[in-house]
Amino acid sequence: MTRALGTAMIVVDMQYDFMDGTLAVPDAHAVVEPIAALASAVEHVVLTRDYHPADHVSFSDNPQFVDKSWPVHCVGGTEGAMIHPMLSRLFDGAPMFSKGTDPNAEAYSGFEGTSLVDGERVTLGDYLHDRNVTRVLIVGLATDYCVKATAIDSISIHDFDTTVIADAVRGVNPVTTLIAAGEMTDHGVWIASSETALRVGI
């Protein structure tokens, strides 16, 4: 398969806690196969991760599973914060952008993340622009929070041609997931199946 030049796949928060841990997203395992299939079709793959301090502002003792009321999840250095073993080997060595590291601030968008690349701390946006990326595919978890925020920043702030891959994302809640799809579409984000994305050459 030829790789689509100028296209990057952003793999959002495919971490243990969102797959099987404290904040497991329903049906999350279903996204692994389409993500793996797309990986060989794009020029660049980058990962984001939620990477919180133990006293992060979003944590609640009585979590409501809505914005600002989550169970403890993805604490930096713990197993829950690691990329799930189903994907970690495939993406070994891919640049990893960490977000949510400030104890007092929530960060859903991967574009709020930074990574150490060749000894220098860079933002996700700069990393992609520096590599002449023009088109972005977004996959991962969860559709109604971090996928949505990443997709909207991708098109609104960075002007990337942005597609969310429907079968490679899952949401926390069906209602907010439906609303998220509308919000993303309103911003000009495409939502397409991985089959369509691969067929049209991404």
Closest approach, Cβ 108 to Zn ion, in A, equals 8
Q: Based on the residue annotation, tell me whether 148 is a catalytic residue of this protein.
A: no
Q: What residues from 95 to 114 belong to the interface with Zn ion (CB under 5 A)?
A: 100
In the complex with Zn ion, the residue whose CB is nearer, 44 or 52, is 52
d(CA 34, CA 165): 9
Q: Based on the residue annotation, tell me whether 13 is a catalytic residue of this protein.
A: yes
Catalytic residue among 17, 50, 74, 99: 99
4 token code pair = 């689509």
In the complex with Zn ion, the residue whose CB is nearer, 50 or 167, is 50
Closest approach, Cβ 18 to Zn ion, in A, equals 9
Q: Based on the residue annotation, tell me whether 74 is a catalytic residue of this protein.
A: no
Q: Which residue is nearest to Zn ion (CB)?
A: 50
DSSP SS3 for 45 = strand
Q: If binding is defined by CB under 5 A, does position 50 make contact with Zn ion? A: yes
Candidates 45-53, 86-94, 178-186, 191-199; binding stretch for Zn ion (CB under 5 A):
45-53
Amino acid letter, 105: A
User: DSSP alpha helices (H): ranges in 44-187?
Assistant: 85-88, 124-130, 148-156, 174-186
Q: Which residues have CB under 8 Å from 94's CB, separation 6+?
A: 11, 45, 46, 47
DSSP one-letter code for 40: T
Amino acid letter, 48: T
Number of chain residues interacting with Zn ion (CB under 5 A): 2
Residues of this chain that interact with Zn ion (CB under 5 A) are 50, 100
Catalytic residues: 13, 99, 146
